[in-house]
Amino acid sequence: MNPLPKEIEEEIQSFSPEVEAEIDRHIAKYPVKRSAILPIMFIVQRERGYLDAAGIAYIARRLDLTITDVWEVATFYTMINLKPVGKYHIQVCRTLSCQLLGAEKIVEHISKRLGIKPGETTPDGRFTLSWVECLGSCGTAPAMQIGFDYYENLTPERVDEILDSLKE
C-alpha cells in the first residue's frame, strides 16, 4: 500500500471499543472483508460526521484495501458525505420522473425558504440541500430524503409541513 501523507496518518484514529466491535461484527458477516465497505462507511461517517480523508484511510487499513478502492465506493453513493452536512440533509431526487412532476419547483421552494442553494448548508448548520440521483420513488414523485426518511408526492405545502416538523 502507498504511504499516507503525514497529516492524514496522524489523524487516523481508532474508535471506542464498542465501535471497533461493531465494525468487527460487520467484517465477520462477509466471506471477503471488502464486502463490509458500505456498512463500515456508515459507521465511520456516523462517528466522524462525514467521511473525510482520515476516515477513508481508516477504512482502507481495516479492510486491507487501497485508499483509491475506498474512494471509488465513497464517491459513487450519494448517502456517503465527503464534506460536512447539516443536521438535516435534504436530498431531492433529480431524475426524470421527479423532474417531470415538479422537483425543480420543490428545490426552488426549499432554497427560498432556507436561503441556500443545492450544495449549501444554512449558516446555523441545521440544513444542507442536495440534488441526488434516483430515490426509487418514480410512481410517487417528486421525492426527497432527509436522513433515512423518504417523503413522496411533494408539494411546497407538504415540504413546509415536513420542515416545520423537524426538531431543533
Predicted local confidence at residue 121, as pLDDT: 96
Domain containing residue 52: CATH number = 1.10.10
Q: 471488502: which residue's cell?
A: 34
Could you give the CA distance from residue 87 to residue 81 in angstroms, rounded to a whole number?
12
Give the residue numbers spanning the domain of 66: 6-74
Grade residue 4 by pLDDT with cuts at 50, 70 and 90.
Answer: low
Examine the domain organization and report whether 69 and 92 are in the same domain.
no
- Model pLDDT for residues 14-29, shown as the tens digit of each residue: 788 999 999 999 999 9
163, burial (CB in 10 Å: exposed 0-12, middle 13-18, buried 19+): middle
Residue 111 sits in a domain whose CATH number is: 3.40.30.10
Residue 112 C-alpha cell reads as 427560498
63 marked among binding-site residues = no
- pLDDT, one tens digit per residue, over 142-163 is 999 998 899 999 999 999 999 9
Residue 44 to residue 78: CA distance in whole angstroms? 15
The answer on whether 138 is annotated among ligand-binding residues is yes
60 plus 100 within the same structural domain: no
Q: Does residue 62 sit in the same domain as residue 95?
A: no
Domain count, the chain: 2
Q: Tell whether 98 is in a known binding site.
A: yes
SS3 label, residue 121: strand
Are 51 and 95 members of one domain?
Answer: no
Going by C-alpha positions, the residue among 163, 39, 124 that lies closest to residue 154 is 163
Average the pLDDT over 124-150 and give the result.
94
> Does residue 123 have a pLDDT over 70?
yes
| Residue at a domain's end among 49, 74, 99 | 74
pLDDT at 1 over 60: no
Q: Answer for the pair 44, 58: CB distance below 8 angstroms, yes or no.
A: yes
**CB atoms inside a 10 Å sphere around CB 47:** 15
The reported pLDDT for the residue numbered 92 is 97
Specify the pTM: 0.79
Task: Assess if residue 14 is contained within a domain.
Answer: yes
* Alpha helix ranges (H) inside the chain: 6-11, 17-28, 37-48, 53-63, 67-74, 96-100, 103-114, 156-165
| N-to-C CA span, the chain | 44
Q: Which of 33, 49, 74 is the last residue of a domain?
A: 74
